[in-house]
Amino acid sequence: MNILDKIIARKKEEVTFSKSTISIEELKDSEFFGRKTYSLKESLKSKSGIIAEFKRQSPSKGIINDKVSPLEVASAYENFGASGISILTDKDFFGGSFDDILSVRNHINIPILRKDFMIDEYQFYGAKSIGADVILLIAACLTPHQVAEFTDLSHELGMEVLLEIHTEEELKHFNKNIDLVGINNRNLKDFKVDLQHSVQLKNQLPDDVLSVAESGIYSIEDFQYLKEKGFNGFLMGEYFMKNNNPAEAFEEFISNI
């Protein structure tokens, strides 16, 4: 069993427990459920193109930074020109929680991507209830039919969808209703990074699809290479979060590009 399989097995347990404690109707009564969402598609076109991530830890890197607050980091990301904020809500493997989004939602005015492993429609109501604007769908743990269904549900709830792929086979998960396609430079099964592989996949997408390079962007040179190859967005977390002061790291990166 690889790490992705372990995560999904645990996620199924987590969702089952959540369903037993909070109903969808209760989620619909939350403060943020009725709010108008921000568009990441539009924000990518008008700002830096960077979706800056708040991430405490990962299975491959262990603890990255557990000393800073989501509000401090997300506010700085917005102030220095991020197009969006990605926030991990998985607890067991990434050290995240709903509270990480709830603590910043009223304080920033750019899209928030709920980054998690979405396998059940219940999770989409949960995402809407905490103020998410965009949902991550990971092709590696979903069927094309599930991607289509979850995309429709996200749109019904007013949220956009970022479909994440890593292999040529996963191109089959794409459908015309997908808002953005993220190509993960890092293989979720063995965590190896290959930027050239991502470029090859991007070139197989329709020309009008907004593409996002995800993970494994470790330098300005990596960023510039992917930008030159036509990527519209760049999801970056570890590059900033590994610093004692992620806000300063982000500000410096923006000034250098």
* Per-residue pLDDT reduced to its tens digit, 109-156: 999 999 999 999 999 999 999 999 999 999 999 999 999 999 999 999
- Residue 75 above 70 pLDDT? yes
What count of Cα atoms within 13 Å lies in the side-chain half-sphere of residue 142?
A: 26
Weakest-pLDDT range from 118-122, 169-173, 198-202, 231-235: 198-202
- Residue 191 above 80 pLDDT? no
Region 220-240 average pLDDT: 94
CATH classification of the domain holding 116? 3.20.20.70
Number of structural domains the chain divides into = 1
- Residue 13 above 90 pLDDT? yes
pLDDT of residue 196: 86
Domain with 129 in it? 3-256
Q: Which of 243, 41, 170, 231 is nearest to 222 (CA)?
A: 231
The two structure tokens encoding residue 37? 């969402």
Region 224-232 average pLDDT: 95
Region 23-37 average pLDDT: 97
Q: Which of 55, 52, 57, 39 is nearest to 214 (CA)?
A: 52
Q: Are 7 and 93 in contact (CB under 8 A)?
A: yes
The residue to which tokens 């708040």 are assigned: 54
Region 7-24 average pLDDT: 97
- Enumerate helices (H) and strands (E) in the chain, giving the number of each: 11, 10
In sequence order, what are the residues at sequence separation of 6 or more whose Cβ sits closer than 8 angstroms to the Cβ of residue 149? 121
**Cβ atoms within 10 A of the Cβ of 232, count?**
18
Region 226-254 average pLDDT: 94
Region 104-108 average pLDDT: 97
